[in-house]
């Protein structure tokens, strides 16, 4: 804590800010991400977005970053969170990609009273029944991203859907939220399957079963390496020609959609960010990210970037303890690359637009055509009391 206190003192002593007090003014950040395993590319992308935010603000020297790899494994993530807090004495943890890892670290950060800025993991419980004033999520919740697709697909005339997802918290919550909304709209779920997470390489048997159920469409959640394999196999097994594929937008993330290739063309999904959002804020962000990485930013990049921006705003507001930092994070609001965003005081989850988009062929590879926007989507508190 002393480090954050030092920061406030240093900020107050503005005029006399010497090199020594500047060094004292450091906020220690634990960047807890997967740098190996099925979500490694996602972790790297969040890291790149986070660094861009600090660079743009000219504040890289004010943050000392310690990186740890979760390997997408809950027990490893928990051990690394403990290490960051107990050994490295970080003031704040930023990151987490997997809902399983978030579920595993939730009680530890809440008990240790360390602010956590969630930069991906959508686990509904972390801003629902297991919410905490120390947890602020700037990414999305699993329900938030998928619920709008229930009504949207029904409105397109789709009546029977089969769902598939990896068998862990995120997979169950993402297709669960979609299925509930689709049924409420009047649709029918004609079957579902959950594939072993991090272990499934051959989706053939699952696709055969899905096709046999005779749905109008298939709705899935897959991300990272699993998304690439799934979309390619969906095409190569010949199902694409008969049954259209829908899903949560991570399936065709701009981060890896070009690795999926033509198999991804025509797939319709929903997400809180696509690089084709046509606003001045997003155009500036796309340009800055491209200048740094030579590629368009994905949702993971914007999540890392917004985690950095939220942290900067909170620190600039003069937060002088972990508790003050956590409260300041929960009040962050601005219009960024994905549109207007604010943190919901009832849950500490971000409130944001959800964009339905089709993956289409563009000039320099595949691109995202926005076909629908649902504005300011928020979750019900689901038992959260802050």
Query: Is residue 165 within 8 Å of 172, Cβ to Cβ?
Result: yes
Q: Give the nearest distance from C-beta 188 to ligand PHB in angstroms.
A: 26
Report, in Å, the least distance between residue 363 CB and ligand PHB.
Answer: 26
Which residue blocks in the chain are alpha helix, DSSP H? 2-12, 19-24, 40-56, 74-86, 99-112, 142-146, 148-155, 169-185, 204-212, 224-236, 257-260, 280-293, 299-316, 322-329
Residue closer to ligand PHB (CB basis): 158 or 350: 350
Least Å distance, CB 45 to ligand PHB, is 10
Nearer to ligand PHB, 99 or 348 (CB): 99
Nearest to ligand PHB of 26, 125 (CB atom)? 125
Min dist CB 122 to ligand PHB, Å, is 4
111-128 burial code (b ≥16 CB/10 A, e <16): ebebbbbbbbbbbbbbbb
- Contacting residue, 70, 98, 367, 368, with ligand PHB by CB under 6 A: 98
Contact stretch for ligand PHB (CB under 6 A) within 83-91, 93-101, 185-193, 203-211? 93-101
Nearer to ligand PHB by Cβ, of 154 and 305: the residue is 305
Contact 335, 319 (CB under 8 A): no
Please give the residues from 25 up to 54 whose contact with ligand PHB meets the rule CB under 6 A: 39
Close Cβ partners of 173 (under 8 Å, ≥ 6 residues apart): 99, 122, 123, 124, 142, 143
Residues 321-340 that bind ligand PHB (CB under 6 A): none
For ligand PHB, the binding residue among 50, 250, 285, 355 (CB under 6 A) is 250
Which residues, 155 to 214, sit near ligand PHB by CB under 6 A? 170
- Least distance (Å) between residue 6 CB and ligand PHB: 34
- Asked if residues 249 and 145 have their Cβ atoms less than 8 Å apart, the reply is yes
Q: Report the residue number, 37 or 150, with the smaller CB distance to ligand PHB.
A: 37
Q: Go through 184-223 and write b for each residue having 16 or more CB atoms within 10 A of its CB, e for each that does not.
A: ebebebebbbbbebbebeebeebbeebbebebbbbbbbbb
Q: Which is nearer to ligand PHB, 249 or 308 (CB)?
A: 249
| Number of residues lying near ligand PHB (CB under 6 A) | 11
Please choose, from the candidates 177, 188, 178, 187, the residue with its C-alpha nearest in 3D space to the C-alpha of residue 155: 187
Q: In the bound complex, what is the minimum distance in angstroms from residue 70's beta carbon to ligand PHB? A: 11
CB of 120 to ligand PHB, least distance (A): 6
Residue 121 or 315 having the CB closest to ligand PHB: 121
Positive or negative, the CA dihedral 268, 272, 275, 278 is positive
How far is residue 250's CA from residue 203's CA, in Å, rounded to a whole number?
A: 18
**Please, what is the minimum distance in Å from the beta carbon of residue 252 to ligand PHB?**
11
Q: In the complex with ligand PHB, which residue's Cβ is closer, 121 or 328?
A: 121
Distances (CA, A) of 134 to 75, 99, 380: 21, 17, 19
Question: Which residue's CB is nearer to ligand PHB, number 166 or number 187?
Answer: 166
Cα(307)–Cα(120) distance, integer angstroms:
10
Give the binding range for ligand PHB (CB under 6 A) out of 91-99, 307-315, 321-329, 332-340.
Answer: 91-99
Residues 110-139 that bind ligand PHB (CB under 6 A): 120-123
In the complex, minimum distance from the CB of residue 211 to ligand PHB, in angstroms, rounded to a whole number: 25
H-helix or E-strand containing 359? strand 350-362
Q: Which two tokens stand for residue 84?
A: 């960051």
Dmax over CA atoms of the chain, in Å, equals 73
Cα of 306 vs its chain's centroid, Å: 11
Binding ligand PHB by CB under 6 A: which of 81, 84, 94, 97? 97
**Under rule CB under 6 A, residue 271 binds ligand PHB:** no
Q: Are 76 and 98 in contact (CB under 8 A)?
A: no
Binding residues for ligand PHB (CB under 6 A): 39, 97-99, 120-123, 170, 223, 250
């Amino acid at each position: 804590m002393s480090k954050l206190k030092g920061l406030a003192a240093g900020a107050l002593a503005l005029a006399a800010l010497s090199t020594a007090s500047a060094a004292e003014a450091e906020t220690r950040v634990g960047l807890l991400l997967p740098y190996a395993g099925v979500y490694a590319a996602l972790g790297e992308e969040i890291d790149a977005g986070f660094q861009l935010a600090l660079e743009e603000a000219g504040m890289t020297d004010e943050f000392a970053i310690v990186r740890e790899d979760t390997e997408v494994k809950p027990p490893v993530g928990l051990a690394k969170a403990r290490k960051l807090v107990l050994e490295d004495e970080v003031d704040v943890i930023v990151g987490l990609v997997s809902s399983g890892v978030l579920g595993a670290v939730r009680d530890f950060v809440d008990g240790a009273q360390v602010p956590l800025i969630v930069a991906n993991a959508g686990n509904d419980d972390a801003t629902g029944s297991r919410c905490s004033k120390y947890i602020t999520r700037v990414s999305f919740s699993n329900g938030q991203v998928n619920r709008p697709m229930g009504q949207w697909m029904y409105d397109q005339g789709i009546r029977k859907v089969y769902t598939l997802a990896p068998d862990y918290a995120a997979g169950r919550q993402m297709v669960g939220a979609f299925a509930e909304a689709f049924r409420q709209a009047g649709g029918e779920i004609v079957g579902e399957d959950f594939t072993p997470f991090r272990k499934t390489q051959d989706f053939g048997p699952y696709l055969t079963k899905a096709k046999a159920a005779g749905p109008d469409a298939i709705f899935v959640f897959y991300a990272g390496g699993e998304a690439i394999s799934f979309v390619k196999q969906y095409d190569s097994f010949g199902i694409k020609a008969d049954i259209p594929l829908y899903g949560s937008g991570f399936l065709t993330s701009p981060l890896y959609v070009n690795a999926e290739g033509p198999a991804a063309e025509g797939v319709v999904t929903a997400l809180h960010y696509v690089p084709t959002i046509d606003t001045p804020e997003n155009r500036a962000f796309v340009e800055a990210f491209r200048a740094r990485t030579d590629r368009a930013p994905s949702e993971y990049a914007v999540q890392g970037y917004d985690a950095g921006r939220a942290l900067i705003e909170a620190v600039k507001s003069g937060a002088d303890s972990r508790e003050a930092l956590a409260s300041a994070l929960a009040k962050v609001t601005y219009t960024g690359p994905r549109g207007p965003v604010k943190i919901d005081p009832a849950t500490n989850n971000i409130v944001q637009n959800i964009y339905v988009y089709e993956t289409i062929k563009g000039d320099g590879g595949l691109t995202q055509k926005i076909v629908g926007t649902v504005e300011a989507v928020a979750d019900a508190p689901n038992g959260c009391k802050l």
